[in-house]
Amino acid sequence: MLLDRELLKKTGVFALVSGELLTFIGGGFLLGQWLDRRFDSAPWFAAGIATAGLVYSVWRIQWLSKRWMKKEP
């Protein structure tokens, strides 16, 4: 077999985790910066929304990993 199934699975998990963190923390930070500029409240929106993104992404990764573990034989 050209590609090892276990290696592909581990690579998928790594991609999922890094994608979740980048999307929610980075996106929250960028949204917060835009709100900070709009309302002249730096750095509160950026810090708050990025922190909320961190909490949500950790919760989502934990939830997804529980679902993956249930599917394992």
Query: Is 1 part of any domain?
Result: no
Query: Is 60 part of any domain?
Result: yes
- Stated pTM of the model: 0.80
Query: Is 40 part of any domain?
Result: yes
pLDDT of residue 7: 84
Query: Is 2 part of any domain?
Result: no
Domain count within the chain: 1
Query: Is 33 part of any domain?
Result: yes
d(CA 37, CA 42): 7
Residue 63: give the domain boundaries: 21-68
Query: Is 37 part of any domain?
Result: yes
Residue 14: C-alpha distances to residues 11, 19, 24, 61, 70 (Å): 5, 8, 16, 11, 18
Query: Is 6 part of any domain?
Result: no
Mean pLDDT per 10-residue interval, the chain, length 73 residues: 78 88 96 97 96 96 85 60
d(CA 30, CA 64): 25
